[in-house]
Amino acid sequence: MSYDAASARNERAASTLRQADRTFWGRLVNWSPYRAFAGLIGASPRRQFLILALFPILWVLTQHLGPMIQMVGVSFTDAYPVAAGKEQHLTLDNYARFFGDSIFWMPFFRTLFFAATFTFCTLILTYPVAYYLARHVSRKNQMLMLLLLLIPFWVGEIVRTYAIMILLGNTGAVNLLLRSIGLIDRPIPFMYTSFSMGMGIVYLTALYMLLPLYSALEKLPKSYNEAAADLGAGAWTRFRRVTLPLTIEGISSGCTLVFLIATGFYATPVLLGGPSTTVFAETIAGFFHVAGDEWPTGAAFATIMFVSALIVTVVFQRLMSALRKGDVK
Amino acid sequence: MNRGNRVLLSCVYWAFVLYVFVPLILMVLVSFKDSKFIGFPIRSWTFEWYTGVFADAQVLSTFGYSVVIAVLSTAISVVVGTWIAVLLEGRRFWGRAVIFGLTVLPALVPGIISAIAFRIYARGLGIEPGMGAIVWAHAVHNVPFVVLVVMARLSTLPKSQIEAARDLGADPLIAFLRITLPYLVPAILGASIFCLLLSFDDFVRSFFLGGYEPTLPVLIFAKLRSGMSPEINAIATVALILTAVVGIWAERFTRRLKKETEG
């Protein structure tokens, strides 16, 4: 190789490097404030990690956990926000108030009962749908058919609740249909009952059940069912002994999600429910419509509801996993 | 037997499709009804309710207010969520499970409780009810969804690419900006659209943290409490079409992006 050729090549390489220096990234890397900054954060793997971790940890502690902690804290005080010149005292009165009056604990137990019932209805309604999608539809169509179901769920809570009001009203579509085929001659008052409320809540939460069920069913190999069939198991036995136990995880997470969401609805029960179906969310909200000194009671009630909902879901999940272990031995 | 099952199940699926679509279709139909009286049958049709909605300054400003809140809260959620996802999906560290648990907490707290807790916390910090409070509450509430989506995408990033960049002299920040971040774009876009829709549709947090100016769901709620009218149907229909179009577009767009970056 001649000297000239080598020097020409070096020259080309150097010019490529100079061009790299002129790109955005090249200039950034050579910019002295950036170098100082990179040196500061990249000094050691330990420091890199600390800088990466500091903000997320502070965020989740102050923004995710903070509000819950403060809510629990306020629930043990007698005044919040504290008026000028007054002192805040610790007290259990807010919790005592809950047990003292049926106007408070009735909606509470009603909420738990309703949420559990509606969760069960959602499960019964969506399991066949998820089963059909996961087992009987080709891969390509699965996505399209799931997307079709997703569309209505992008629409907000209030709009969908209103849609249910129009469906079930005295002059609504269902009553019109029933009347025109001659089944009834006076409209059935669906609205402002636990039925209309359940209809609305199932309508709003169905997707949160469907997706976990679908992914559990989709993961289940078809060969398991075929093996069971070869061993002589009928369709019902196959479902009960193979499919159901192996999708318990999906059932469990879907039910947990729907239960937690269903206990938290406020607008839907207000719009679709009646005086006999007051839920705890309405009770809690009542303390925040009035002047500030009722806030601690509202906080206590919200704490009671959150803790109970957690206990219910934990017990439920334990039960489900015990069931699974008992079945698949 | 098997075929019979299959036909039965497909009937169940289509019945479910009807169940989720029919109420919305009926609501849209009523928005064209030429009468103040909500209900069926519909005998004459009109566009009057829509022209009314687009001439109503309050509805239009509410609409803009909701969009601004959605955009601001999404911007916060996406930055924070991506940061947390990078931390959680990176090397294992002590207390990681606790941080993960705390990260998903806001998504699991029932709506009314989350709204109450945010209201009390905002009061403690001296934040007045209004736009800032709503943006903050939506941002915190939506972070878990960003984290989950971005983490799922991050777990499929070939680690060799990062190592190659580091070998070629990139410092960790440059490697993140030039390798990791571009790879995350489909996930981040998908998560952003989801956050926009969540914020735009949210009622309970906007209701308890809002000042005098309502967001769109709060406005519809207030109007509903004072009586049903086809005008509400028209407002709801506009919101419905907007959310559905944005949702479908995002779904297709992110799917295509994912295919491109993987292929």
Task: Report the residue of A24, A27, A47, A71 to disrupt the B interface, i.e. the one with the largest count of B CBs within 10 Å.
Answer: A71
User: What is the Cα B232 distance to its own chain's centre?
Assistant: 22
CB distance A49–B24 less than 8 Å?
no
CB distance A56–B84 less than 8 Å?
yes
Q: Which candidate from B24, B110, B124 shows the least CB-CB separation from A309? A: B110
Retrieve residue A22's tokens.
């002129």
pLDDT class of A304 with cuts at 50, 70, 90: very high
Q: How far A257 CA lies from chain B's nearest CA (Å)?
A: 7
Q: Hey, which residues 55-94 in chain A have their CB within 8 Å of chain B?
A: 55-57, 59-61, 63-68, 70-71, 74, 80-81
Q: Which residue does chain B place closest to A115, by CA atoms?
A: B110
**pLDDT for A309 beyond 60:** yes
What does the pLDDT read at residue A102? 84
Q: Which residue does chain B place closest to A307, by CA atoms?
A: B109
**pLDDT for A328 beyond 70:** no
Every domain of chain B and the residues it spans: 47-262
Q: Which residue does chain B place closest to A133, by CA atoms?
A: B13
- 3-state secondary structure (DSSP) of residue A44: coil
Q: Hey, which residues 267-286 in chain A have their CB within 8 Å of chain B?
A: 267, 270-271, 281, 284-285
What does the pLDDT read at residue B92? 82
Q: Which residue does chain A place closest to B15, by CA atoms?
A: A129
Compute the mean pLDDT over every residue in chain A, rounded to the nearest whole number: 86
Q: Which residues in chain A have their CB less than 8 angstroms from residue B6's CB? A: 136
What does the pLDDT read at residue A13? 66
CB distance B40–A150 less than 8 Å?
no
How does pLDDT run across B139-188, given as a tens digit for each residue?
A: 999 999 999 999 999 998 888 888 888 888 778 888 888 889 999 998 99
Window from A229-233, B137-141, B193-197, B232-236 with minimum mean pLDDT: A229-233
Q: Hey, which residues 100-129 in chain B have their CB within 8 Å of chain A?
A: 102-103, 105-106, 108-121, 123-124
Window from A2-6, A29-33, A285-289 with minimum mean pLDDT: A2-6
What does the pLDDT read at residue B100? 94
What does the pLDDT read at residue A219? 87
How does pLDDT run across A115-130, given as a tens digit for each residue?
A: 999 999 999 999 999 9
**pLDDT for B1 beyond 50:** no
Q: How far B123 CA lies from chain A's nearest CA (Å)?
A: 7
Range among A43-47, A99-103, B21-25, B227-231 with highest mean pLDDT value: B21-25
What does the pLDDT read at residue A204? 93
What does the pLDDT read at residue A315? 94
Query: Got the DSSP string for A188-246?
Result: ---TTSHHHHHHHHHHHHHHHHHHHHHHHHHHS-HHHHHHHHHTT--HHHHIIIIIHHH
Q: Which residue does chain B place closest to A29, by CA atoms?
A: B174
Q: Which candidate from A66, A162, A171 shows the least CB-CB separation from B236? A: A162
Task: Report the residue of B33, B80, B120, B215 to disrupt the A interface, i.e. the one with the largest count of A CBs within 10 Å.
Answer: B120
**pLDDT for A329 beyond 50:** no
Mean pLDDT of the A79-87 span: 76
Q: Which candidate from A132, A151, A261 shows the least CB-CB separation from B9? A: A132
What does the pLDDT read at residue A291? 62
Residue B240 to residues A153, A232, B216, Cα–Cα distance (Å): 10, 50, 12
**pLDDT for A27 beyond 60:** yes
List CB contacts of A29: < 8 A, sequence separation 6 or more: A35, B171, B174
Mean pLDDT of the A152-158 span: 87
How does pLDDT run across B72-96, given as a tens digit for each residue?
A: 999 999 999 999 999 998 878 888 9
What does the pLDDT read at residue A40? 76
Query: What's the CATH number for B47-262?
Result: 1.10.3720.10
**pLDDT for A24 beyond 90:** no
Residue B137 to residues A196, A211, A321, B104, B106, Cα–Cα distance (Å): 30, 26, 34, 15, 10
Exposure string (b/e) for A82-98, b if CB count within 10 Å is 16 or more? eeeeeeeeeeeebbeeb
Among A70, A50, A72, which Cα is nearest to A62's? A70
CB distance B201–A155 less than 8 Å?
yes
Amino acid identity at B203: F
Q: Which candidate from A235, A265, A267 shows the least CB-CB separation from B221? A: A267
Window from A15-19, A180-184, A196-200 with minimum mean pLDDT: A15-19
Window from A220-234, B52-66, B143-157 with minimum mean pLDDT: A220-234
Q: Hey, which residues 207-246 in chain B have their CB within 8 Å of chain A?
A: 207-208, 217, 220-221, 224-225, 228, 232-233, 236, 239-240, 243-244, 246
Q: Which residue does chain A place closest to B248, by CA atoms?
A: A151
A253/A186: higher pLDDT: A253
CB distance A125–B5 less than 8 Å?
no
Q: Which residues in chain B have their CB less than 8 angstroms from residue A63's CB? A: 140, 143
Q: Give the other-Cβ count within 10 Å of A116's Cβ.
A: 16
Angle of helix A194-219 relative to helix A102-136, nearest 10 degrees?
A: 40
Q: Which residue does chain A place closest to B19, by CA atoms?
A: A203
Q: What ipTM did this prediction achieve?
A: 0.90
Q: Which candidate from B12, B173, B204 shows the least CB-CB separation from A132? A: B12
Task: Report the residue of B40, B77, B168, B205 to disrupt the A interface, i.e. the one with the largest count of A CBs within 10 Å.
Answer: B40
Question: Is the Cβ of A171 closer than 8 Å to some Cβ of chain B?
Answer: yes
Q: Which residue does chain A place closest to B255, by CA atoms?
A: A143
CB distance B41–A176 less than 8 Å?
yes
Query: Got the DSSP string for B73-142?
Result: HHHHHHHHHHHHHHHHHSS--TTHHHHHHHHHHHHHS-HHHHHHHHHHHHHHHTPPTTHHHHHHHHHHHH
Q: What is residue A77's DSSP assignment?
A: B
- 3-state secondary structure (DSSP) of residue A90: strand
Total length of chain B: 263
CB distance B203–A129 less than 8 Å?
no
How does pLDDT run across A41-56, given as a tens digit for each residue?
A: 777 778 888 888 899 9
The CA distance from A67 to A124, in Å, is: 35
**pLDDT for B38 beyond 60:** yes
How does pLDDT run across B144-158, given as a tens digit for each residue?
A: 999 999 999 999 888
